[in-house]
Amino acid sequence: MTVKQTVEIKNRLGMHARPAMKLFELVQSFESEVMLRNGTGIEAEASSVIALLMLDSPKGQQIEIEATGPDEAEALSAVVNLINSGFDED
């Protein structure tokens, strides 16, 4: 099964190196695969900092998060919370 949720990027600078690294480190603690998809359909595995940077996601952009695996609900919730917190930057 797969779980999905759409959230808005809230931090001032959007998805840049520090938030990408925080997200990467977070998903390492889960067994599930986490994918992010921006409004233009570009996808990135959260297990790749480079892929996350390629999303080119500024503040205000909607991002769909999709988690698949044994702890998918927990992984999705953790990623949503991190993004909603503005990656603890603001």
| Residues tagged active-site | 16
Pick the closest to residue 59 from 19, 5, 4, 3 (CA basis): 19
Cα distance between residue 1 and residue 41, in whole Å: 21
Phi-psi region at 62: left, alpha or beta (left = phi > 0; alpha = psi -120 to 50): beta
Alpha helices in the chain (DSSP H): 17-27, 49-54, 72-84
